[in-house]
Structure 1
């Protein structure tokens, strides 16, 4: 990722995973990962990842903030850094949020086994298919971290 102030920030998710959903920005879990996916979407380099309404975690963030996936992409297209994007998010939520509210939402999201009956069923099937068995993989975030690691050459 190029981080010089005047250069376009590109993320190529065909070469490396986005940041872990556990990484926080302004207290929001998933926000740095969402930024990575938005940058990759803009560059046409999402790989197997999905952005926006097709992603359960992205949609949870957009539902919480009231920001649309399109408006978020527009902000990221301005080549804003993470801090500027966070400030924009805070200024554009449909209702002001206190730090404790963001913290509560983040903790809730971080411990979910799945976000829908279909996702929970799929997750249960995935968990049972791991060889060797991984009883430590019980939440969506744990799955995403493991999947990102294995997808780019790690061993489960």
Structure 2
């Protein structure tokens, strides 16, 4: 995947019951190919999810290179076998609803959002901002 030419999948997309996994796969593959562009891997959302799954970004990157999406999904399911549905729902909510957590982050967030579309004051989460930036909302 070349993220200098196309966007990664939305953080809203799920795989193995978890939001953001498909996006992380895209970023891991792009990082491996040196085509990450301006994207960050691992970003703070990636780190939240990696901690939940119980792996580091190097291990996730390695499996993302050696497996197709179905293989990565099976691997993630195996890693999360000890998690129940409630835990999966909680991490999804935490990821999808994460907002800037201090005044400096809010200022950065608003500057980016307002630079894209100042009328979209309804966008107040990082995932919302990502989808706005990438033209999905």
TM-score after normalising by structure 2? 0.87
Residue 17 of structure 2 is matched in structure 1 by 27
- The correspondence for 1:74, drawn from 36, 39, 62, is 62
- 2:16/2:76 contact within 8 Å kept: no
- 1:90/1:96 contact within 8 Å kept: no
- Shift in Å at residue 12 of structure 1? 0.7
Question: Which protein has the larger Cα radius of gyration, Structure 1 or Structure 2?
Answer: 1
Residue 84 of structure 1 is matched in structure 2 by 71
TM-score after normalising by structure 1? 0.77
Residue 97 of structure 1 is matched in structure 2 by 83
Distance 2:68 2:123 in 1: 32
Corresponding residue SS for 1:67: coil
Q: Deviations over 1:27-85 (max 9, x none)?
A: 21110000000111111110110112xx111111111122010011111121x111211
Residue 141 of structure 1 is matched in structure 2 by 127
In structure 1, list runs of 5 or more residues that go unmatched: 1-10, 151-155
Kindly report the root-mean-square deviation, in angstroms, between the aligned alpha carbons of the 2 structures. 2.1
2:99 is the alignment partner of 1:109: no
Q: Deviations over 1:101-149 (max 9, x none)?
A: 11221022211213x4353442244345554421221111110011122
